[in-house]
Amino acid sequence: MSAQDHYDTLSLQDSTILAETFRLLGDPSRLRILFYCLNEPKSVGDIAEQLDLSQTLVSHHLRLLRGARLVIGERRSRQVFYALADDHVRDMLKDMVVHIKEEEF
């Protein structure tokens, strides 16, 4: 993106794409899943157990996150390990936490 590009007009299409990502981040369970997988891949069962969510629910959420390319899954024998899709997603999440924590409530 060049320096002269501006952000103040968001096309209908761009806003829809961007909103879709935000919408997926707008659920506490999904956010916790993403942050739990932030640094290293985690298995579905591990996620469910550590975050105290049902295995079924975790699977459903992971499917949505996969569809938006926020995570990728890799099968290792019986288990499937999920990780953030790339560093952009990782940095984005870290940035968001910084921004949120900087707000005084």
Partner DNA sequence: TTAATATATGAATACATATTCATAAGTTAA
Partner DNA sequence: TTAACTTATGAATATGTATTCATATATTAA
Q: Does 12 bind DNA (CB under 7 A)?
A: no
What residues between 28 and 67 interact with DNA by CB under 7 A? 28-29, 43-46, 48, 53-64
Question: Coil, helix or strand for 73?
Answer: strand
Distance CA 47, CA 10 (A): 36
Q: Does 85 bind DNA (CB under 7 A)?
A: no
- In the complex, least distance from residue 53 CB atom to its own copies, rounded to whole angstroms: 11
2's tokens: 């060049």
Among 28, 75, 76, 78, binds its own copies (CB under 8 A): 28
Among 3, 4, 12, 41, binds its own copies (CB under 8 A): 12
63's tokens: 């499917």
Kindly report each contact of residues 25-30 with a partner whose C-beta sits within 8 Å and lies 24 or more positions away, as own/partner. Answer: 25/93, 25/96, 27/61, 29/53, 29/57, 29/61, 30/61, 30/64, 30/65
Among 4, 9, 54, 56, binds its own copies (CB under 8 A): 9
What residues between 39 and 68 interact with its own copies by CB under 8 A? 39
